[in-house]
Structures are given as C-alpha cells and as structure tokens.
Amino acid sequence: MIPHVALAVISAAVLAYEVLLVRLFAIVQWHHFAFMAISIALLGFGISGTLLAIWQEWVKLHFTKIFAACAILFGVSALVSFLVAQALPFNALAVVWEPAQLLYLPIMYLLLVVPFFCGATCIGLSFVRFGDEAGRVYAFNLIGSAVGALGIIGVLFVMTVQDALKLVAILSLLSAAVISLQERWGLRSVLVTGYGILALVIWAALPDAWFALRISEYKELASVLKITGTKVLSERSGPLGLLTVVESPNVPFRYVPGLSLNAEALPPDQLGVFTDGGSMTAVTRFDGQREQLTYLNYTTDALAYQFTTRPSVLVLGAGGGRNVLQAVYHHAKHIDAVELDANMVRVVQQDYAREAGNIYSRPDVHVHLAEARGFTASSQRQWDLIQIPLLDASGGGIHGLSETYIYTAEAFSGYIERLRPGGWLSITRWLKLPPRDTLRLFATALDALRGSGVEAPENQLMLIRGLNTTTLLVKNGAITETEIARARGFAQARSFDLCYHPQISADEANRYNILETPYFFAGTKALIGTERDSFMSHYKFDVAPVTDEKPYFFNFLKWRHLPELLSIQRSGGAGLLELGSLILVGTLVQATILSALLILAPLWIRRRSLAGFGQLWRVAGYFLALGLAFLFIEIAFIQKFILFLSHPLYAVAVVLTGFLLFAGIGSGVSSSIAERIDNWHKTHPGRMPYLSAIQFSVAGIITVSLIYMLILPTVFAALLSITDTGKVLVSLLLIAPLAFFMGMPFPLGLSRVWSGAPALVPWAWGVNGCASVLSAMLATLIAMNFGFSVVIWAAAIFYACAAAVFVRPLDAS
C-alpha cells in the first residue's frame, strides 16, 4: 500500500506541474509557447520507459531508493528547469528574421524533459515492480493525477503561481517521505526529518528574487514599465490570469482603440490593466461628468448608438469598463456587463472603484460574472444592443491555435435571438489588411441570419471601418433608409468609411482611409452574391464561417498559399504570416524526430537482449494505437467542453480529472471484470462467440463516444444555463462511462504482455508515451482542418485496431 500512495502523490505533483507550466509560460512568453514546451516535455515519459526497459532487472532490486531519488529530483528540477528556461533569450517574435532562434527550443525541451523524466520514472518503476497488479497501480496513478490536475486550479485561487510551483516541489518530497516509510526505523526517521527540513527551505528560505517571473521584454507590460514614472500599483493572481494594474503619471495611458482623427476631446486619465503581461485594457477615471466621455462617441463601436434612444445594453466582455462608460455616455437605461474574470471585476468594482467612478456599482449597471455564450443562453432578457468589444490584443497570428466559441455561427444565432425587434448586435475587431477577421465575421453573420430563417440577410448588415478597427452591425430586422442616412452622417463626421450597408456603392466605401484595393467593399459584396463560394476558395486567407464543430476563428492560414506568404515576408509582408498552424506543424515534426531518437532508437539497439522480441510489433502496435486514441478522445472532449464549461482552463481541469478518475476506477476493476468474463464463458460455453475483456471495453468506448457525438450538442444547448457546480457535475457524469471503459485496455494489455513477454513491459510504456507526445498535436491539427468529429472517428478506429491486434494471445515463448 505504501508504494501505491507514494505513486499517487508523485502523480499528483507531475500533473499539477504540467497545468502550472501552462500558466507560467502564458505569463512570461505567450500561451502557444507553453503548448509546445509541454508536448515535448511528455517525451520525458517515453525516455524513462526506454531506460527502464533496458535496466529493469537492476531497478527492480533497488525500487525504494530509485523511487525516492527520482521523486526528489523531480521536485528540484521542476523548480530549476523553469527558472532556467524562462531566462533563455528566446524571442518568438524575431523568428521570421532569425530562424536560428528556433535552436533555443531544443534547449528548452531538454530542460523541461528533466522533471518529467524523473516523475515518469517513479511511475514507470511502479509498473515494473508491481506489474502483476497493473490495474491497481494504474488506478493509483490515474487518481493521483486527477487530484493534481484539479487541485492545482483550486490552489491558484489562493496563491501565486510561484508559490504553487514551490508547492509542487514540496509534494514530491512528500512522496519521497511516504516511500521511505518502507525503510527500517532509524533511517526512516532521518529521511523524513531531512525531507521536512528541505520542504521548509523551499517554502520559506529561498530568495524571492529567484522566483521573479521574467516577462519577455517585448510584451506590453515590460515596455510600459520602461517609461519613467510608471509603477505597478497592484496585482491580482488567479487561474484565469495575472492582472497587473499600472499607473503612468508622466505619459498617461490613452487607450482608445479606433479613435477618430476628428476627435477633439481626449480621454481622461487611465490606469492600465494587463492580463499576463499583455492584452491591455484600461480603467478610466470618471467623476460622473458625462462630457468627459465625449471621445467614446468617436470610435467605430459607437455607430449602433446612432440608431437607438435610451437603449438597454449588454456588454459581453466588460473588462475595464470602456464599453460600459460608452453606454452611460449614450444614456442607456439598463446596462448588463458580463465579465469572465472575477479578478477583473474586483479591480474595477473594489480596488479602484473610486478612480473608476464606481461604474460597476451604479444602479443602472448590472455586473455578471459569466461567460458570453452561457450568459446569453441562460438569460431571459432581450436587449436593444449587444456589444462585443475588442477582446484580445492584435498579436501576429499567435491565436490561430485557440478555439473561440464567441464568434461561431451558433453563437451569432444565440445573440440575435436575444435582440429585441429592431435591436443591434455590434462586434468590433482590429482592422487587418488584407481583411481576415472582419470578412469571416461577415460571412458568419450571413450564415447565422439565414439559419434563423431570414430571407434577405444582406439587408440586416452594416460594416464600418476606422484607421485600426472595424465594427460589424447585425440588425434584428431590415435596415431602414433613415438608419443609412444617420450612419453616413456618423461616418462623415469622423472620417470613417462605411464598407457595407444595403445601399452601398463603390465610391462610398473607400473615401476617407483610402486603401489600395477596396478590400472590405469587394469582399463583403462577393460574400452576399452568387460568387461567394468562388471568392472564399480563391481568397488568400481562410475566411469561411466558423462553427462550434471547428471553432478556430483565428486560423486564417491556407496551406496552398504558404509559399507566397513566405516569399514576401521580408519585403514588408511579415505581418501577413499566420504563425499558429506553422508552429504546430513544426512542433509535430520536432517531436516525431525526438521521440524516435530518444525513445525508440535505444530500445531498437538493445532489441537482441529483450526476450519475447518476436512479439514486439504487436505490442508496439497495440500501445501506439491506445496512446493515440486515448488522447484523441480526451482532447476532443476538452475542446467540446470548453463551450459548456466556459473557459479552456476549467475544461482542461474538469475533463482531465474526470477522465483520470473514472479511467482509474475502470483500470482498478479491469482484472476482476476480465475474470468474470472468462468465468462466464467457461460456465456458458458456446452461448456467445468469445469476447475478451479488451474487446468488451473497446466496444464500450466506441459505442459511448459515437452516441456522445450525436447527443452532446443537444445536451449542452439544453443545460448551458444551469449553475457552474451543476455543469461540473453533469460533465463528470457524462465523462464517467466513457472514461471507465477507456481505463481498461491499457492495464489489460499490460498484464497480457506481463504474462506473455514480460521484457516488453517497458517497451509498451515507452511506445505509449511516444504516441501521447504526438497525439496531442495531431488531434489539434485534425480538429483545425477537419473538425472534432473526425478526431473522435479516428480514435474509434484506433481502438478497433488495438482490439484486433490483441485478438490472439501473446506467445509466451
């Protein structure tokens, strides 16, 4: 029992570390970078499996000592590797100019492989030592991991990321302390005392300066702090991000995206609020004088207010409160402000309430802590104006990999349903040349309107463009002559260009901010006309509408135009390159090479000394298929649940926990189920064709996952409005049966290998680790190009293949 508990503790530490790295890298670099580092770090699992395979007899003899040493090394290297990795001079932004920058990545990988290697060795060691009870070992491993993944999210609510990192190290010492309980009494007390002192040192005695996060100097916060007089007023740390509030008395913040050239009035003083060192939003000093806010009538997102009087307004993504102030300026009679991050609300409503003029506590303003889709689905209200402000920074293509459910066709239909007759939906994006986001939004709105039964959707849309923002308006009803006349007056007074409305003409669309080609006018015209399909297929960027099935709004790359984009990047075209997908493919290639080199090559070299080598291909095939399939399903479900649980981090934590927990239970009971199945066949000979436990579980997985593909969208739509706790419970309930079956094939296969060709157990572990490295990236790539359903189908096929490979028992000779 002692080794099992120690295993569960170290498993928790490893998973907690993995989740923590995502947060840490999102702060010091950019989030896509975290994704790469962690995929590669999984290699540690593979490498450890290989080494265990080679030295298994020796390590079995020294189980306790090696386990303890690896647990301690995990803790120490978890701290050191990150601190060194963040100090590397890697600069993701300069990669276009200096491809050699990419050579820093292998260093990063080598650094991060160390802790994962040590942690994985503890786990793999337990399988080698207690392989005859693989189900039980696997169960402790999975349940520990589940607690770690979910626990760390909770921890991040109450402590900083740095303290959480120390906690992970201490957890690994706890694991070492548990395993030392197997030692004789004297040694045991010495060791436990030693670990205790070490834990105290890590928690309290290490200098804070070592743990200071070194934010890339190219992130907004770092450059703002270079300005004389700027200072950090406060920080709020939470699982959704680190908020830093900055004051700049000498050079005031003047954050007004898209302000017209004709604006005379300037914004009042502002405080800058940075999320993870980037994505700035501002808290504007407001003393209740409406005139101070005149500038907010000089941005493209003020257009909708020209058509409404005393509207009720919903702001989806209220942030620092800019669009709430805009609504106040325009005499809105009721304002609902929806914000996802509780810390952001606290900054505006509590910490700087006085500066912000108590806007979040006004009687006409109602703040809701919620996610946009969930809120609109659950609310019974209807509004005259739904405003979706600029929600993210204008970073160069790095968002390509993130799924966004607020801009999908299904989301649009939901928003439109919540508009009063004659109400407006207003969505603002950064202007990009040639247009990408804006045309995709336009196409999505057209689809959504058509889907809602509107016969002439082109009569309900309006698009306006300033110097660096565009605003798309969707009306619940046909746009009138009067409204067009007002829009023209608004645009003219601000030197904005109307790019689309039902009566647009070419000469109206490119009047003030002159573009070489009237991209927006031509693009929107093509999208409403008969040449829509031909336009979309010939346009150099992918601007097809996005759906919940393939919600990669920021993925504009078309592979066949990549050569052209690469060829013009130096003559001023660097900004046209959408990096997301490229980084993903690059990482996949690197990971394939590294896993072949580090996991498979050493085993291949030592193949002669491994008994049962003849069975290798079947063992490798089985565990390769399982490794790919398990993560395919897990990742597809994480993505599906993001919509339901409102945030990627919650989805990762809940889905991961659910899968690990119930797969752990499935694994724990797998051997007894196998026994029962065999007994049943013995007592009922010939009643049914022989079905092994592996085939039984695979049949369960395929059936449940295919049923879910059909019913999940309906279930989510019906339950989107229940409470957060309710959603977590429903999610776990949904995951339970699927994960239960998915927990079985691995230990069942492993015990077959154990009895048939025991020398191949570490191989199985290594190949499985290798497949896991690749499958996370492969799944995302497939989802981006073909949608989530294809990922689930592929997983079902892999499971079927695995079952087929192990139909025949392994030859014990």
Partner 1 sequence: MAPNWSKSVMEERLYQTNDLMRDGPLDAMKHLMHRSPSFQLCLLAVLIGFVAHQRAGFAATDHWPELRAAMVQTIKGYAATLPETAGTGGISDNVLNVMSEVPRHRFVPKRVEHRAYQDRPLPIGHGQTISQPFIVALMTELLKVNRDAKVLEIGTGSGYQAAVLAGLVEAVCTIEIIPELADTATGILKDLGYDNVQTKIGDGYLGWPDCGPFDGIIVTAAAGHVPPPLIRQLKPGGRIVIPIGGVFGPQYLTLVEKTAGDELQTRQVLPVRFVPFTRGSP
How would you label 364-392 residue by residue, b for 16+ Cβ within 10 Å and e otherwise?
ebebbebbbbbbbbebeeebbbbbbbbbb
Q: Using CA atoms, how far apart are residues 564 and 538, in angstroms rounded to an integer? A: 14
Token pair of 384, please?
Answer: 């005259």
Residues 592, 584 contacting (CB under 8 angstroms): no
Give the list of residues 6+ apart from residue 730 with CB closer than 8 angstroms, or none. 715, 719, 722
Binding of residue 571 to partner 1 (CB under 8 A):
yes
Candidates 194, 196, 396, 737: give the one binding partner 1 (CB under 8 A): 396
Tell me the chain's radius of gyration from C-alpha atoms: 29
Instruction: Output the CA torsion sign for 354, 356, 358, 361.
Output: negative
Candidates 26, 176, 315, 576: give the one binding partner 1 (CB under 8 A): 576
Give the DSSP H or E segment for 44. Answer: helix 43-54
- Mark 8-27 with x for binding to partner 1 (rule: CB under 8 A) and - for no binding: --------------------
Binding of residue 512 to partner 1 (CB under 8 A):
yes
- Output phi, psi for 150, to 5 deg: -80, -40
Binding of residue 530 to partner 1 (CB under 8 A):
no
Comparison of 39 and 230: residue with beta carbon closer to partner 1: 230
Pick the stretch among 4-12, 188-196, 263-271, 618-626 that binds partner 1 (CB under 8 A): 263-271
Binding of residue 602 to partner 1 (CB under 8 A):
no
Site residues for partner 1, 424-443, by CB under 8 A, read 432-434
* Strand segments (E) across 248-349: 270-275, 278-284, 312-316, 334-339
The Cβ-side half-sphere exposure at 433, using a 13 Å CA radius, reads: 14
- Mark 174-213 with x for binding to partner 1 (rule: CB under 8 A) and - for no binding: --------------------------------------xx
- CB atoms under 10 Å from CB of 332, counted, come to 24
Binding of residue 291 to partner 1 (CB under 8 A):
no
Binding of residue 249 to partner 1 (CB under 8 A):
no
Binding of residue 556 to partner 1 (CB under 8 A):
no
Pick the stretch among 31-39, 227-235, 307-315, 443-451 that binds partner 1 (CB under 8 A): 227-235
Binding of residue 290 to partner 1 (CB under 8 A):
no
Cα–Cα nearest to 385, from 337, 340, 342? 337
Binding of residue 532 to partner 1 (CB under 8 A):
no
Minimum CB separation of residue 572 from partner 1 in Å reads: 2
Candidates 239, 257, 319, 627: give the one binding partner 1 (CB under 8 A): 257
Which residues, in sequence order, are bridge partners of residue 388? 427
Minimum CB separation of residue 780 from partner 1 in Å reads: 24
Comparison of 535 and 622: residue with beta carbon closer to partner 1: 535
* Biggest CA-to-CA distance, the chain: 91
Q: How far is CA 238 from the centre of its chain?
A: 16
Candidates 575, 614, 726, 809: give the one binding partner 1 (CB under 8 A): 575
Candidates 5, 69, 76, 232: give the one binding partner 1 (CB under 8 A): 232
DSSP secondary structure letter of residue 452:
T
Comparison of 127 and 535: residue with beta carbon closer to partner 1: 535
Site residues for partner 1, 440-469, by CB under 8 A, read 467-468
Comparison of 24 and 425: residue with beta carbon closer to partner 1: 24
Alpha-carbon distances of 9 from 13, 122, 171, 267, rounded to whole Å: 6, 11, 7, 53
How would you label 591-625 residue by residue, b for 16+ Cβ within 10 Å and e otherwise?
beebbeebbbebbeeeeeebebbebbebbbbbbbb
Binding of residue 659 to partner 1 (CB under 8 A):
no
Candidates 189, 503, 534, 679: give the one binding partner 1 (CB under 8 A): 534
- Mark 74-113 with x for binding to partner 1 (rule: CB under 8 A) and - for no binding: -------------x-x-x-xx-xxx-x-xxx-xx--x---
Minimum CB separation of residue 298 from partner 1 in Å reads: 9
Q: For 679-695, give the DSSP string.
A: HHHHHSTTSS----HHH
Comparison of 94 and 596: residue with beta carbon closer to partner 1: 94
Minimum CB separation of residue 483 from partner 1 in Å reads: 26
Binding of residue 514 to partner 1 (CB under 8 A):
yes
Minimum CB separation of residue 562 from partner 1 in Å reads: 13
- CB atoms under 10 Å from CB of 52, counted, come to 25
The Cβ-side half-sphere exposure at 217, using a 13 Å CA radius, reads: 7
Comparison of 148 and 239: residue with beta carbon closer to partner 1: 239
Binding of residue 43 to partner 1 (CB under 8 A):
no
Binding of residue 533 to partner 1 (CB under 8 A):
no
Site residues for partner 1, 471-510, by CB under 8 A, read 495
Q: Is the peptide bond before 762 cis (omega within 30 degrees of 0)?
A: no
Cα–Cα nearest to 664, from 747, 734, 605? 747
Q: Using CA atoms, how far apart are residues 360 and 318, in angstroms rounded to an integer? A: 10
Candidates 186, 207, 572, 685: give the one binding partner 1 (CB under 8 A): 572
Cα–Cα nearest to 782, from 581, 545, 543, 579? 581
Site residues for partner 1, 726-745, by CB under 8 A, read none
Minimum CB separation of residue 244 from partner 1 in Å reads: 8
Candidates 158, 206, 251, 601: give the one binding partner 1 (CB under 8 A): 251
Candidates 157, 187, 189, 223: give the one binding partner 1 (CB under 8 A): 223
Candidates 222, 342, 600, 719: give the one binding partner 1 (CB under 8 A): 222
Comparison of 214 and 331: residue with beta carbon closer to partner 1: 214
3-state secondary structure of 752: helix
Residues 512, 260 contacting (CB under 8 angstroms): no
